[in-house]
Amino acid sequence: MEIIRFELGNVESHNWGGAFPVVTIGNFDGVHVGHQEIFRRVKDRAGQVNGKAVVFTFEPHPLKLLRPEKCPPLITPYAKRIRLIQHFGMDAVIVAKFTREFAALTPEAFFSILRDVFHVRAIYIGYDFSFGRDRAGSVEKLKHFGAQNSVEVEIVEPVMLHGMPVSSTEIRRLVAKGEMRAAREFLGRYFFLSGEVVEGHRRGQRFGFPTANIETGHELLPPRGVYATFFYYRGKRYRAATNLGVNPTFNNGRMSIESYIMDFEGTLYGEEVSVSFVEKIRDEICFSTVDALVDQIVSDVEAVKEILEREEKEAPQESPEG
22-43 pLDDT per residue, tens: 999 999 999 999 999 999 999 9
Same domain for 30 and 152? yes
Same domain for 9 and 154? yes
Band (pLDDT 50/70/90 cuts) for residue 249 is: low
Secondary structure, 3-state, the chain: CEEEEEECCECCCCCHHHCCEEEEECCCCCCCHHHHHHHHHHHHHHHHCCCEEEEEEEECCHHHHHCHHHCCCCCCCHHHHHHHHHHCCCCEEEEEECCHHHHCCCHHHHHHHHHHHCCCCEEEEECCCCECHHHCECHHHHHHHHHHCCCEEEEECCCEECCEECCHHHHHHHHHCCCHHHHHHHHCCCEEEEEEEECCCCHHHHHCCCEEEEEECCCCCCCCEEEEEEEEECCEEEEEEEEEECCHHHCCCCCEEEEEECCCCCCCCCCEEEEEEEEEEECCCCCCCHHHHHHHHHHHHHHHHHHHHHHHHHCCCCCCCC
With respect to residue 172, please indicate whether it lies within any of the assigned structural domains: no
Same domain for 232 and 131? no
pLDDT score of 255: 85
User: Cα separation of 51 and 91, whole Å?
Assistant: 9
Model pTM? Answer: 0.92
One-letter amino acid for residue 152 of the chain: E
pLDDT score of 200: 74
Nearest to 284 by CA among 231, 239, 243: 243
Q: In the chain, how many domains are there?
A: 2
pLDDT score of 210: 85
pLDDT at 204 > cutoff 80? no
Band (pLDDT 50/70/90 cuts) for residue 286 is: confident
Same domain for 70 and 137? yes
308-318 pLDDT per residue, tens: 999 998 876 67
Q: What is the CATH number of the domain that holds 83?
A: 3.40.50.620
Same domain for 105 and 22? yes
Band (pLDDT 50/70/90 cuts) for residue 88 is: very high
Same domain for 148 and 280? no
pLDDT score of 81: 97
pLDDT score of 180: 98
106-147 pLDDT per residue, tens: 999 999 999 999 999 999 999 999 999 988 999 999 999 999
Q: What average pLDDT does the segment 148-155 reach? A: 97
Same domain for 15 and 135? yes
pLDDT at 289 > cutoff 90? no
Band (pLDDT 50/70/90 cuts) for residue 90 is: very high
pLDDT at 186 > cutoff 70? yes
Residue 196's domain comprises 190-314
Q: What is the CATH number of the domain that holds 279?
A: 2.40.30.30
Same domain for 25 and 148? yes
Same domain for 24 and 148? yes
Q: Centre a 10 Å sphere on the Cβ of residue 283 and count the other Cβ atoms it contains.
A: 11
Report how far apart, in Å, the C-alpha atoms of 61 and of each of 35, 146, 172, 180, 200 are. 16, 26, 16, 24, 32
pLDDT at 207 > cutoff 70? no
pLDDT score of 203: 65
pLDDT at 95 > cutoff 80? yes
Q: Are 137 and 130 in contact (CB under 8 A)?
A: yes
61-78 pLDDT per residue, tens: 999 999 999 999 999 999
